[in-house]
Amino acid sequence: MIAGRMMDRPLLIIDILKHAADAHPTIEIVSRTVEGPIHRYGYADAFKRTAQLAHALKGLGIEEGDRVATIAWNTYRHFELYYGVSGIGAVCHTINPRLFEDQLEYIVNHADDRVIFIDSNLVPLVEKMAGRFPGLTAYIVMAARENMPETSLPNVLCYEELLDGQPETYDWPELDERAASAMCYTSGTTGNPKGSLYSHRSTVLHALGLLAPGVLPYGTGTAVLPVVPMFHVQAWGQPYVAPIAGTKLVMPGPKLDGESIYELIESEGVTLTLGVPTIWMGLLTHLRETGKRFSTLKHLVSGGAAIPLSLIKGYEEEYGINVAQGWGMTETSPVCAAGADGPEMDKLEGDARHELKLRERRFFGVELRLVDEDGNLLPHDGETQGELQCRGPWIVDGYYNDEAATAAAMTDDGWFRTGDVATITDAGLLQITDRTKDLIKSGGEWISSIDLENEAMSHPDVAEAAAIAMPHPRWQERPMLIVVPHEGKNPTTDDIREHLKTRIVSWWMPDDFAFVDELPHTATGKVSKLRLRERFKDHVLPTI
Ligand code: ADP
């Protein structure tokens, strides 16, 4: 080999913020605070405060490799923690406040977190569990002194007091780019949660990957609102992408309802926003009820769960918003594929165009393949469903301190088993059709629960729908559809069946239907099929 004559500079997270402070010093980070008022400052100010935080962390005894937990909403303080913690070589462990108590206890102790940073309105949640975290040496409330809540927590510190008077510069260490920078546990719908441990290198490459032109629009004059929480896989990379691109970053704090999101989009001139389908349903309902329109928003990204076609149509046709779907997982940093723009899309109009938006194109840096149950490769023909596996520099190569889970997730040739079922077209467009554990296998053939749900949700009276597998003596499993009608609507089984008849092949028709007021959701806002299956476990199909 002839070695290239280029500098071997490490890819470090703190250099992203340093770049923003130098190149985009006055571009703002705007946050709706937990207390309510809007806070705003530029990337240069954020960099100074991050230096102060780094000094404070050192003062707390945090060393390289230590885990520092956060349980917090999207705000500028959480942004400072992303950079300050990783900047000194420690690991920022973001925790989802909506997890069950047992999961929280497991995660904090398994990660061996040293200290925890908490938003003031989440203090009661942590307070009632304090005795269950023996390893934590301090609880830092992310507030100014005047907003500190009364609390029975031991060793409580105030974030602003810790920063106060600290120097505004820090001698950031030149870390190994492969050093761990952050971690996030999957919500663990089965078994214990599993930890993904990101590195500086994986994080920077993921952010650069997302910036590929033509995928998501960033840059001067744009403003991004990650509604997706910073505890949900690093807000899908937005706190890293925005400072690189010089994009204004708008943080929603704890208020994620349609009205609050709409207000922020309008008042801050947001051009791009990202979140899970449940959030977009809430916002669309708000728009329709109030007759409001967007004045700056152009692009909306939905991910984390399959987006219903009806939602894409609603935003595109009624509001002129370009909707793109993204696919990813906690284990994949998370974004691997997004949007389906390209020559295929350009040829299409109307419904056909919307339908293509159910697919996503993979990013440079991520390889995808489909395999059958025996591990044989399957064709990318847009029809054949198989288990999706992926590989790339921002995909996990195993779980943190969990050999059994690692062995189950990795293939012998080094690919990650996603547990998702998908099709891929010959033009490289991915569509998730199911999760392996949610598959409905009727007479040996797979029925895509996502497709079934999507078609059901295209009925005007249906707000949400979920398909689950029910045991059947002849077919092993048959689908059952659980439907949430729109408020004030009362669709019947016959209505739904009639609607589905022309839209799905006959053997996909659910054997039974149930109507409920709401579906159970997981901590990340997805329908919990596990809880649904539990709820209907004694139900017997009428076709038996
Ligand atoms: P969990 O839902 O287990 O808490 P993640 O947030 O990591 O964990 O979710 C990853 C999963 O979300 C994927 O494996 C996939 O099943 C689902 N998902 C993500 N994006 C999409 C999408 N665009 N379409 C369908 N499913 C998706």
Residue 213 lies in a domain: no
CA pair distance 300, 291, nearest whole angstrom: 19
What kind and span of H or E run contains 343?
helix 343-346
Residue 61 in any domain: the answer is no
- For residues 211 and 111, give the distance between their C-alpha atoms in angstroms, rounded to a whole number: 31
Please indicate, yes or no, whether residues 444 and 526 belong to a single structural domain of this protein: yes
528 vs 487: CA distance, rounded Å? 21
The whole-number pLDDT of residue 189 equals 58
Q: Using a 6 Å cutoff on CB, does residue 206 contact ligand 1?
A: no
Say whether both 368 and 451 belong to one domain: no
Phi first, then psi, for residue 303 (nearest 5°) are -155, -175
Please tell me the distance between residue 304's alpha carbon and the centre of ligand 1 in angstroms: 4
Residue 411 maps to a domain: yes
Show the domain range for 431.
364-393+400-435
DSSP state of 162: H
To the query of whether residue 35 is one of the catalytic residues in this protein, the response is: no
Ligand 1 center to 176 CA (angstroms): 30
> Are 499 and 481 contacting, i.e. CB atoms less than 8 angstroms apart?
no
Q: To the nearest 10°, report the CA torsion of 31, 96, 232, 436.
A: -160
The catalytic residue among 128, 347, 437, 441 is 441
Q: Which of 296, 425, 446, 493 is catalytic?
A: 446
* 71-80 per-residue burial string, b: 16 or more CB within 10 A, e: under 16: bbbbbbbbbb
Indicate whether 481 and 461 sit together in one domain: yes
Measured over the CA atoms of residue 439, residue 470, residue 192 and residue 524, the dihedral's sign is positive
Q: Is the CB of 435 under 6 A from ligand 1?
A: yes
The mean per-residue pLDDT over the stretch 461-471 comes to 94
DSSP-assigned states of every residue in 39-82: EEEEHHHHHHHHHHHHHHHHHTT--TT-EEEEE--BSHHHHHHH
Q: Tell me, using a 6 A CB cutoff, whether residue 526 lines ligand 1.
A: yes
Pocket perturbation via mutation, ligand 1, pick of 198, 233, 276, 327 by most ligand atoms within 8 A of CB = 327
411 and 447 both lie in a single domain: no
Shared domain check, 488 and 469:
yes
The larger pLDDT score, comparing residue 15 to residue 524, is at 15
Q: Are 33 and 143 in contact (CB under 8 A)?
A: no
Distance between CA atoms of 87 and 35, rounded to whole angstroms? 28
- DSSP codes of every residue in 81-106: HHHHHHHTT-EEEE--TTS-HHHHHH
CB of 420 closer than 6 angstroms to any ligand 1 atom: yes
Spatial neighbors of 100 by CB under 8 A, at least 6 apart, are 523
The end-to-end CA distance of the chain, in Å, is 68
Q: Any idea which of 95-99, 199-203, 244-248 has the lowest mean pLDDT?
A: 95-99
pLDDT in tens, 290-317: 999 999 999 999 999 999 999 999 999 9
Q: Is the bond preceding 491 in cis, omega lying within 30 degrees of 0?
A: no
What is the structure's pLDDT at 190? 61
**263 part of a folded domain:** no
Q: Residue 317 falls within a domain, yes or no?
A: no
Q: Is the pLDDT of residue 154 over 90?
A: yes
Mean of pLDDT values over 511-536? 91
> In 3D, which of 287, 270, 336, 277 has the Cα closest to residue 312?
277
| pLDDT for the residue numbered 116 | 98
**From the CB of 303, is ligand 1 less than 6 Å away?**
yes
Domain end residue (candidates: 435, 457, 487): 435
Please tell me the distance between residue 113's alpha carbon and the centre of ligand 1 in angstroms: 26
CATH of the domain at 371: 2.30.38.10
Identify whether residues 408 and 472 lie together within a single domain. no
Does the CB atom of residue 305 touch ligand 1 within 6 A?
Answer: yes
Q: Does ligand 1 have an atom closer than 6 angstroms to the CB of 325?
A: yes
Q: Catalytic site residue 446?
A: yes
- Please indicate, yes or no, whether residues 477 and 431 belong to a single structural domain of this protein: no
pLDDT band at 444; cut points 50, 70, 90: confident
Last residue within a domain, chosen from 382, 415, 435: 435
- Position 453 in a domain: yes
- Is 169 tagged catalytic? no
- Cα separation, 461 vs 354, in Å, equals 20
Note whether 457 and 522 are same-domain residues. yes
> Ligand 1 centroid to 487 CA: how many Å?
28
Burial class (CB in 10 A: 0-12, 13-18, 19+), 533: middle
Q: Which of 12-16, 309-313, 461-465 has the highest mean pLDDT?
A: 12-16
pLDDT digits (tens, 9 = 90+) for 128-152: 998 999 999 999 999 999 999 999 9
**In this structure, are 370 and 446 located in the same domain?**
no
Q: What ligand 1 atom has the least distance to the C-alpha of 523?
A: 4
In this structure, of 123-132, 190-199, 265-274, the range with the lowest mean pLDDT score is 190-199
Same domain, 406 and 378: yes
What CATH number does residue 460 fall under? 3.30.300.30
Residue 524 within any structural domain of the chain: yes
Which pLDDT score is estimated for 544?
86
Query: How high is the pLDDT of residue 192?
Result: 85
Torsion-angle region of 154 (φ positive above 0: left; ψ -120 to 50: alpha; else: beta): beta
- Nearest Cα neighbor of 166 from 84, 237, 89 is 84
Average pLDDT for 408-432: 96
Q: Do the domain assignments include residue 511?
A: yes
Q: Ligand 1 center to residue 524 CA distance, Å?
A: 9
pLDDT, averaged across the chain: 95
Task: Give the end of a domain, one of 413, 435, 457.
Answer: 435
Which residue is it, tokens 């402070």?
21
Q: What is the mean pLDDT of residues 272-299?
A: 96
Ligand 1, from 366, 526, 528: best to mutate by most atoms within 8 Å of Cβ? Answer: 526
pLDDT at site 58:
98
Domain count, the chain: 2
Decide whether any atom of ligand 1 lies within 6 Å of the 187 Cβ: yes
Instruction: Give the per-residue pLDDT at 344.
Output: 87
Which protein residue has the closest C-alpha to ligand 1 atom 24? 306
CA of 71 to the centre of ligand 1 (A): 21
For residue 464, the model assigns a pLDDT of: 92
The span from the CA of 230 to the CA of 236, in Å, is: 8
CA of 46 to the centre of ligand 1 (A): 32
Q: Is the CB of 304 under 6 A from ligand 1?
A: yes
For residue 238, the CA-to-ligand 1 centroid distance in Å is 18
Same domain membership, residue 446 and residue 429: no
As a whole number of angstroms, the distance between CA 61 and CA 115 comes to 10
Residue 221 burial (10 A CB sphere; 0-12, 13-18, 19+): exposed
Are 446 and 419 in the same domain? Answer: no
Could you give the C-alpha distances from 500 to 71, 350, 467, 495, in angstroms and in order?
A: 43, 21, 13, 9
Can 263 be counted among the known catalytic residues? no
